[in-house]
Amino acid sequence: DSSEVQMKEVKQLRQKSINAILLAVEHFNGMNNLARTEAVLLLLIHAFEMLLKAGILSRGGSIRSKGQDKTISFDDCLRRSLSNGSLKFIDDDQALLLTALNGHRNAAAHHLLTISEEVLYIETQSAITVFRDVLRDLFAMKLEDHLPSRVLPLSTIPPTNPTIVFRDEVEAIRKLLAPGMRRRSEAESRVRAIAILENSLLGEPTQPSQATLKRLLKKLGAGERFDALFP
C-alpha cells in the first residue's frame, strides 16, 4: 500500500531530522573546536531538510520533481513549505532564518566563513526554537522528549542583545582592517557572514559577491556607521 510506504518514509525522515538536530546541539556544546562551526551549520541544515521533507510528505506533497528520481534541494523544500497553500507549514519569519542559516552553511561548506561565538549562539538557538515549533505543529511531538534532562550548559560568554552582538562584530572587523594588521582575508570572511544575513532579510538569498564584500570593507574602514551599512 503506497500510503503505508509514504508514512514509513515520513517517520524515517523525521527521525533523521531529530538525530541531526541532537548532533548539532552536541557539537555546539562540545569541547572540541575543530571544524565546530562548519559541523553545527551542516547538521542544522541537514536536520531542517529532513524535517521539511517529512512535513511535505505528511501533507500529501511530493519531495521529487516531476520525472526525477532525485529528491528536491533544501531551497525547493523551503519554497514548497512556505508558498504552496495546501502544504504551507513555514511562516515568513521562519523562512528568513532558514534562508540565512543555509547561506551561512553554503559559505562555510564551499569557501570561507568566520562567525563569532555570539552570532553562532543566536543563530543556533533560533534554529532550534524553529525546529521545536515545526516538529510540534506538524507531528504533535515535543523536542524536549528527545533531549536528556540536564541543566543548561556552562557558557564563558553570556548571551547579549542581538543588535549589540552584530554591532560589536562590525567593530571587530574594523580592527582587522586597521593599518598594519594584514588581516584583510579574515575581515572578509567575517563580513561575509553579516552580508549573508542582511541579504536574507532583504529577500535576496544569494551569496554576496566579491565586489560587494570589498565595498563593505572599504566603507567599514572609512568609519561608516553599522546601521547605515546593515539597515
Read off the pLDDT of residues 43-89 as tens digits, 9 standing for 90 and up.
999 999 999 999 999 999 999 988 778 999 999 999 999 988 889 99
The CA distance from 161 to 220, in Å, is 22
**Beta carbons within 10 angstroms of residue 158's beta carbon:** 6
Q: Is 140 left (phi over 0), alpha (psi -120 to 50) or beta?
A: left
Residue 220's identity, in one-letter code, is L
Based on its alpha-carbon atoms, the radius of gyration of the chain, rounded to whole angstroms, reads: 19
Mean pLDDT value of segment 204-222: 90
CA dist 72 and 63 (Å) reads 6
Distance, in Å, from the CA atom of 53 to the CA atom of 122, rounded to the nearest integer, reads: 25
CA dist., res. 120 & res. 73, Å (int): 24
pLDDT band at 182 (very low <50, low <70, confident <90, very high): confident
- Residue 67, sorted as left (phi over 0), alpha (psi -120 to 50) or beta, turns out to be left
> Do residues 108 and 100 touch, judged by C-beta distance below 8 A?
no
Distance from C-alpha of 54 to C-alpha of 38, rounded to nearest angstrom: 24
Q: Across the chain, what does the average pLDDT equal? A: 91
pLDDT at 227: 85
> What is d(CA 36, CA 89) in angstroms, rounded to the nearest whole number?
30
Q: 180: left (phi > 0), else alpha (psi -120 to 50), else beta?
A: left
Give 99-122 pLDDT, tens digit per residue. 999 999 999 999 999 999 999 999
Distance, in Å, from the CA atom of 198 to the CA atom of 206, rounded to the nearest integer, reads 10
Residue with cell 527521525: 15
